[in-house]
């Protein structure tokens, strides 16, 4: 509340009331949960016929994990749910999914059938090492050498690291990669803020047990949240603007603002407060 130049009292605009269809939302969540449990049962059925060491089982699990990342069908944090249900580390499940994305079923089955001079095929651990190699041609070259020369997983990992450090573009693209991670973190934060503003706050305000004081405090917080959301949207636009133009010095200045570099958010849910907190726009883009 404040006073205008004409002497009249001004009151901040209150957010419009938003109707939340809680019944429909509950139905959607119930269906998502049902879909997710069905996928977990599918994994457990596969495991009843083999075990985690079976490459084909891991590939099937990876395909299912890649599928349940669809939040619209399976809900948010679906992979976290699978981690608890299957008692398998979440990061491991994501790596399984990445393997299946790089080597779809037909290509994977062909790969498993191919034997090296030792008579043994490439192992799953070899493939997990290769998912970190971004360049497809380099990845394929390492895979071919690993099979023909019977490289151990340790040897393959060492060779993969060499290709990263020797790449002439690795240092040049570092600011670009870091900025991309920053943009993704900010996008994730914006989505959470938008959800809070559009759904959570109206739901809270609709609770009859709130006192007038609590209701006014919530409305005040809502106004501040929407203002912060506008600032964040502007920051994201500026970061993306820098990403799209060839301005290496500015990219480096933004990246250097972060002591350890901005980190990419987890793919299954909200980023941590530390990784997604947005610095003041003026400082970042100075």
50-75 residue pLDDT tens: 877 789 999 999 999 999 988 888 98
pLDDT at 49: 81
- Assess if residue 2 is contained within a domain: no
pLDDT at 38: 92
Mean pLDDT score, 250-260: 51
0.75 cut: is pTM over it? no
pLDDT at 1 over 80: no
Q: Residues 197, 158: one domain? A: no
Q: Residues 161, 178: one domain? A: no
Give CA–CA dist 203/172, Å, rounded. Answer: 47
- Assess if residue 243 is contained within a domain: yes
Q: Residues 50, 123: one domain? A: no
Domain boundaries, position 85 = 26-102
- Assess if residue 221 is contained within a domain: yes
Residue 261 — pLDDT band, cuts 50, 70, 90?
very low
Does residue 10 sit in helix, strand or coil?
strand
8-48 residue pLDDT tens: 444 445 545 444 455 566 668 888 889 999 999 998 888 88
Give CA–CA dist 13/222, Å, rounded. Answer: 11
Mean pLDDT score, 234-246: 72
CA trace torsion 98, 99, 104, 105 (10° rounding):
-130
Mean pLDDT score, 234-240: 76
Q: How many domains does the chain have?
A: 3
């Amino acid at each position: 509340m404040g006073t205008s130049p004409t002497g009249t009292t001004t009151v901040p605009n209150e957010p419009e009331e938003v109707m939340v269809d809680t019944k429909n939302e509950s139905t959607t969540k119930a269906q998502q949960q049902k879909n997710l449990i069905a996928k977990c049962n599918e994994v457990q059925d596969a495991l009843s016929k083999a075990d985690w060491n079976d490459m084909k089982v891991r590939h099937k699990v990876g395909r299912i994990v890649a599928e349940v990342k669809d939040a619209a069908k399976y809900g948010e944090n679906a992979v976290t749910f699978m981690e608890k249900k299957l008692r398998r580390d979440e990061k491991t499940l994501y790596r399984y999914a990445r393997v299946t994305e790089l080597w779809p079923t037909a290509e994977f089955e062909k790969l498993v059938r191919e034997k090296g001079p030792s008579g043994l095929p490439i192992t799953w651990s070899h493939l997990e090492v290769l998912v970190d190699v971004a360049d497809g041609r380099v990845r394929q070259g390492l895979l071919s050498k690993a099979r023909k020369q019977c490289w151990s997983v340790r040897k393959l990992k060492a060779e993969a690291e060499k290709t990263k450090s020797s790449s002439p573009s690795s240092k040049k693209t570092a600011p670009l990669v870091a900025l991309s991670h920053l943009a993704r973190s900010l996008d994730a934060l914006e989505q959470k803020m938008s959800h809070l503003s559009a759904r959570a706050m109206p739901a809270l305000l609709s609770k009859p047990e709130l006192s007038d004081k609590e209701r006014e405090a919530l409305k005040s917080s809502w106004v501040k949240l929407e203002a912060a959301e506008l600032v964040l949207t502007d920051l994201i636009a500026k970061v993306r603007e820098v990403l799209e133009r060839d301005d290496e010095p500015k990219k480096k200045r933004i990246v250097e603002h972060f002591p350890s570099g901005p980190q990419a958010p987890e793919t299954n849910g909200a980023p941590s407060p530390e990784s997604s907190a947005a610095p003041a726009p003026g400082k970042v883009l100075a």
